[in-house]
Structures are given as structure tokens and as C-alpha cells.
Homo-oligomer: A and B are copies of this chain.
Amino acid sequence: MEERQRTRRPGGRGARVGAAVHQAVTDLVNERGYGKFTVGDVAARAGVADSSIYRRWGNLEALLADVVLTRLNARSPMPDTGSLAGDLRTYAAQVAREITGPDGLALLRLAVALSGNGEQGVQARDDLLAERARQLESMLDRARERGEHAPDALGVLDHVMAPMYIRVLFGLGPLTADYVDGLVDRLV
């Protein structure tokens, strides 16, 4: 077993460990909530040594930040449908699916909790928001280049993302397609 692992390229094993650790964090956030588990709990759940986590992430906050950043960003690639309304509807539907999915609420709660948790958390929040804003701006720029009138990225945050985030965070019913399309149509 040890021999077999040594012959695999490091990236392969690193990626597997990363995925197992990320999933363990998401599961523990779901089951116990933020602040209720340790690096040791994550390691045990993921089947890795504590030292592997400390070596790669440094501490629990940095690991949590990495999980939120990776999952909330990687799951929303930006659409390019040819019209601003189409792009925003598709993007909003992706975000709605992501935050109402099995890990969505846990990830949103983690994003909120991290924002108030020292430098690592603030850095993670800033990275997450900067990445989202960059993605959104490129979509809005494409619309302006086509001659469409486009709101700014903060307008999208305020009137499309924020209502969905708050409805999920406060447990206010499902985000239906009609509801999500309505948010976009009122903005555009």
C-alpha cells in the first residue's frame, strides 16, 4: 500500500487528500456547525494525519477559508449567452442551485462566520468577493460592449445575490425559477 502510494505522482495524492479534507470540513459544518470541531476532528473524518492538515493549511481558520473560497467560486462558472438578461438569469440560477444544494447553507454560514474571524477570515472573505466581482464585471463589460445598459457589480450583489443569500440564511422557503428570474428582470 505504502509502496503503491509512493509510485503515484504527488499531485494525485495531494488532490485526493484535499478533496477528502474539504468534504470532511463541509460535513462537520453541516452536522455540528461552525466553531464546534477541531483540526483533529477533520483529520479523523478525512482519514489523514493531523500533521498533514497543519503542514498544508497551517491552521483551522485557513482551512475553512480555503473550503469556502474553493467551493463557492468553483461552482459558479460565468455564463455567456449573448444577452445580459440571459447571462444574469443563468448565473443567478447557478447560484440558487449552489446555495440550496446539500452543502450550500453550511458554506454560506461559514462565509458569514469567517468574515468576523480575524485576519485569515477577513482575507478569505476579501478573496471570495474580489473573485466574484471580477467574474461579474467581465460579464457586465461584455454587455456594455454589445451596447446594452448594464448595472454595476454591486447592483447585482444588492438585488440578485443578497435576496437569495438572505432567504437561504433565514430559511425562507425555496428559490423557485420564477422568483430568481424576477430578481434579474427587475434589475435589468
Contacts and interface: CB of A to CB of B under 8 A. Distances in A.
A166 B117 CA distance: 16
Given A34-B34, A158-B183, A162-B163, A171 B125 contact: yes
A44 to B, nearest CB: 20
A112 B113 CA distance: 9
A49 interface: no
B35 A36 contact: yes
A179 B183 CA distance: 19
Given A33-B116, A34-B34, 13 more contacts: A34-B35, A34-B113, A112-B169, A115-B169, A122-B171, A129-B170, A129-B172, A157-B163, A157-B172, A158-B163, A159-B163, A162-B163, A162-B165
Interface of A: 33-36, 105, 109, 111-113, 115-117, 122, 125, 129, 157-159, 161-163, 165-167, 169-172, 183, 186
SS class, residues of chain A in contact with chain B: helix
A119 to B, nearest CB: 13
A144 to B, nearest CB: 20
A101 to B, nearest CB: 15
A33 B115 CA distance: 11
A163 B166 CA distance: 9
Nearest to A172: B129
17 contacts: A33-B116, A34-B35, A35-B35, A105-B116, A115-B169, A115-B171, A122-B171, A125-B171, A129-B172, A157-B163, A158-B159, A158-B163, A158-B166, A159-B163, A159-B186, A162-B167, A166-B166
